[in-house]
Structure 1
Amino acid sequence: MMARAAAGLEFLRQHAGNDSEWLRRATIAYDSNGDRSSLESGVHAIGEILRLWAAQVEAGVSHLPAELGEGVRALASTEIMGQVRLLNEERDVHAAAPIVLSGAALETALRGAVEELELPIVGTPGIAAYSRALRTAAILSKQDVKDLEQMAGVRNAAAHGDFESITRERAGLMEQQVNMFLARLRDLLDSPAGVRTAE
């Protein structure tokens, strides 16, 4: 009975989220031994909460944390980077615009990955904090973090008006770098934990 309860609570922790009301209620139900004050009734209460949670997910009322993170990453890879492509093709748009937007796509994707994995953030949310969290979790390599720092530096230069260093060629290169990194991030997150190549 205790093993079943532990499995049910762990399932909710991983799939509903650490701070979800579903997990909180299931923990209370188990700790109070359910309505009939027995270990068995506590386990049955967890089972009922699991069934209700699954029904909410199927109905689209509740969402899996991983789904939200994946959706954010997909938005960065398709919608935002699609806008970057259009800006890079427009000759009357300053090169800073697609660079800043590429940086926004990068930050959005990193945030989605951190949320998907429910990783803790240290410091102000942003590319640096997200990359540190992913590095600590052994998702990103040292080289990945260096690449992110370099791209963040270009984005910051464009955002703060350092237009002398911003060229059309630099904007095109930034687009390519971000697209390659987003593809790599997707591959890293889709790989089984034991196959990840971060060093």
Structure 2
Amino acid sequence: MVDGASRENLLNYARRLSADIKADMDWHSSGHGSGGYWTVANHAALSKVMAKSAAALEFLRRYAGDESSWTHRANAIYDSKGDGQSLESGAHAVGDLLEEWINQVESGANEILGERQWSEVSLVGTDIMSQVRRLLEEPRSHPAAPIVLCGAALETALRSAVDAHGLELRNRPSVAAYTSALRSAGLITAQDVKDIEMCAGLRNSAAHGQFEGLSPERAGLMEQMTNLILRRLADIQLVQGDFPGRG
């Protein structure tokens, strides 16, 4: 599963964002039954509301999904100024939508975008790599076996990271294509790319029967490098520091 602390940080940030949007608003009755609109006292407060609303809309796009009904409704209600009431009324409604999204995520009725994909990264780190460790500890195991398994774990984790962030591939699915997409999005470093390419090259040698340069030592190095890359990918899962209040 996705790291519980990261998930809670994400939802706590959404709660604060919703509260901040509505914090300085006052309700003005129109004098006709229950009609009225939300407003703030001055331009500085309005600027804050607009900035927080923009952050909320981007949050829903990122974590509820660009094509989700949550994102579509939030954009529509904000653009229409709360169905013509006031800019603040539209922002207030966005805050209400954000709160309801949080409630549904916590109840299990909705999920955070990418959550299932990140569970695959966790599975790779705990299950597949434990199989690699057992192979390395088996004296009769050929070094190609753990190397190929590390390569499979790496490809699965890279694919999950690409899917979780909704990235598009420029070429057919492969380790190289996944790596390129993540690098273009600024999610991994140039050094990460070099490490991944090194592991992919070793995996290809083992998979194609080129055993001359393989050894238990190189298989052990492959395990170490793969674990480092998996931890790096885990660091960019749901919480990347792209919202304040992390930790």
Query: Which TM-score bucket, shorter chain as reference?
Result: 0.7 to 0.9
Question: 1:120-151: per-residue Cα shift (whole Å, max 9, x none)?
Answer: 43222232122212322334332321221121
Q: Paired residue for 2:98?
A: 50
Change (3 A) 1:7 1:172: closer
Q: Which structure's relative contact order is higher, taking Cα pairs within 8 Å and 6+ residues apart?
A: 2
Which of residues 177, 189, 192 in structure 2 aligns to 1:144? 192
**Alignment-derived partner of residue 180 in structure 2:** 132
Partner of 1:79: 127
* 2:228 matches 1:180: yes
1:12: which partner in 2? Answer: 60
Tell whether 2:160 aligns with 1:98.
no
Paired AA for residue 132 in structure 2: V
Letter in 2 for 1:147: D
Closer, same or farther: CA 157–61 of 1 in aligned 2, 3 Å: farther
Give the CA deviation at 1:101. Answer: 1.3
Q: Distance in 2 between matches of 1:124 and 1:69?
A: 19
- Cα distance, 1:152 vs structure 2: 0.6
Q: Deviation digits for residues 59-103 of structure 1, max 9, x if unmatched?
A: 123222354454333222222111111122234444322212101
Q: Which amino acid aligns with 1:54?
A: I
TM superposition score normalised by structure 1: 0.75
Q: Secondary structure at the match of 1:145?
A: helix
- Aligned-pair CA distance for 1:186: 4.1
1:100–1:159 CA contact under 8 A, matched in 2? yes
> Which runs of no fewer than 5 residues in structure 1 stay unpaired?
194-199
Q: Is the 8 A contact 1:73 1:108 kept in 2?
A: yes
Distance change (3 Å), C-alpha of 1:39 and 1:156: farther
Supply the distance in 1 between the matched residues of 2:241 and 2:71 (Cα, whole angstroms): 25
Q: Measure, in 2, the Cα distance between the counterparts of 1:108 and 1:89.
A: 23
Partner of 2:201: 153
Q: Map 1:23-42 to 2 at 5 A.
A: 23-31=71-79, 36-39=83-86, 42=90
Equivalent in the alignment of 2:161: 113
CA–CA separation in structure 2 for the residues paired with 1:184 and 1:9: 28
RMSD over aligned CA atoms reads 3.1
State how 1:62-73 maps to structure 2 within 5 Å. Answer: 62-65=110-113, 67-73=115-121
In structure 2, distance between residues paired with 1:127 and 1:8: 34
* Superposed displacement of residue 29, structure 1: 4.0
**Distance in 2 between the 1:113 and 1:129 partners?**
12
Residues 1:171 and 2:219 aligned together:
yes
Identity percentage over the alignment?
49
Identify which range, 23-32 or 99-108, moves more after superposition: 23-32
Provide the C-alpha distance between the structure 2 equivalents of 1:116 and 1:181, rounded to a whole number of angstroms: 17
Please report the TM-score for the alignment, with normalisation by the length of structure 2: 0.63
Aligned residue number for residue 197 of structure 1: none
CA distance in structure 2 between the aligned counterparts of 1:139 and 1:46, rounded to whole angstroms: 29
Q: Is 1:69–1:114's contact at 8 Å kept on the other side of the alignment?
A: no
Contact kept, 8 Å, 1:66 with 1:115, in 2: the verdict is yes
Q: Does the Cα contact within 8 Å between 1:95 and 1:167 map onto a contact in 2?
A: yes
